A and B are shown apart, each in its own frame.
Chain A
Amino acid sequence: SQQGEEDPQALSIQEGENATMNCSYKTSINNLQWYRQNSGRGLVHLILIRSNEREKHSGRLRVTLDTSKKSSSLLITASRAADTASYFCATDARGNNRLAFGKGNQVVVIP
């Protein structure tokens, strides 16, 4: 079954604005990862946050993890047109022996 569920499903913003996406999951995890996919191509790994971490940064990306609420958020600051893509969260759930992806969150950044 799908572990990650992103919210909102689709987001349209102006260049320069921030974009925030949320992901919820159901069971205990080893880690949670965010990926980006451009228009039907392969996924690109963005960031991995472990279950004992609460926040992580990578460039313009900020990820938070709240294991008590079983949720994570991805913040993209100062968005660019090149950030237009689908964003997926994926959970490595304990005992699940697989990386389970959410359905994705489509972000459109308008120049």
Chain B
Amino acid sequence: KAGVTQTPRYLIKTRGQQVTLSCSPISGHRSVSWYQQTPGQGLQFLFEYFSETQRNKGNFPGRFSGRQFSNSRSEMNVSTLELGDSALYLCASSSNIGGSYNEQFFGPGTRLTVL
């Protein structure tokens, strides 16, 4: 099976712009989670989508949003970018069906730099 893919791999934006990141999960996985990783805060959970519905959400402002399509591909959007949004954004897919989180398969990440 092909792994989790994320596009683009690198992105440079300026403050105030918006950005859309894409994630294609492993075939058959219906759960897609997004994480932000920074040196200061570590790995922080953004949200999880399952069958096109946001199932869980982390503590991020409304500028961070996402969606999932019928083929399980997911996008996340960050509007009105701030310098502090510079981070590695990681997507993970899994076969989570029930209430617990199983093994997560991570993509290589999108490195976002906000200038």
Contact = CB atoms under 8 A, between A and B. Distances in A.
B86 to A, nearest CB: 13
Interface in B74-88: 88
A2 B58 CA distance: 11
19 contacts: A31-B102, A33-B101, A33-B103, A35-B104, A40-B109, A41-B108, A41-B109, A42-B106, A43-B90, A43-B106, A48-B102, A88-B43, A97-B48, A97-B56, A99-B104, A100-B45, A101-B42, A101-B45, A104-B43
Main secondary structure of the interface of B (DSSP, over half): strand
A92 B100 contact: yes
A70 interface: no
Contacts of A98: 33, 45, 48, 56, 58, 101
A62 interface: no
A97 B96 CA distance: 11
A27 interface: no
For chain A, the bracket of interface size reads 20 to 34
Nearest to A51: B100
Contacts of A92: 100-101
Interface string B91-105: 010000001111111
Interface in A12-56: 30-31, 33, 35, 40-45, 48
Nearest to A30: B100
Contacts of A99: 33, 45, 101, 104
B94 to A, nearest CB: 9
Contacts of A41: 108-109
Interface of A: 2, 30-31, 33, 35, 40-45, 48, 88, 90, 92, 97-104
B66 interface: no
A44 B106 CA distance: 7
B45 A40 contact: no
B50 to A, nearest CB: 11
Contacts of A45: 103-106
A48 B103 contact: yes
Nearest to A104: B42
Contacts of B55: 97
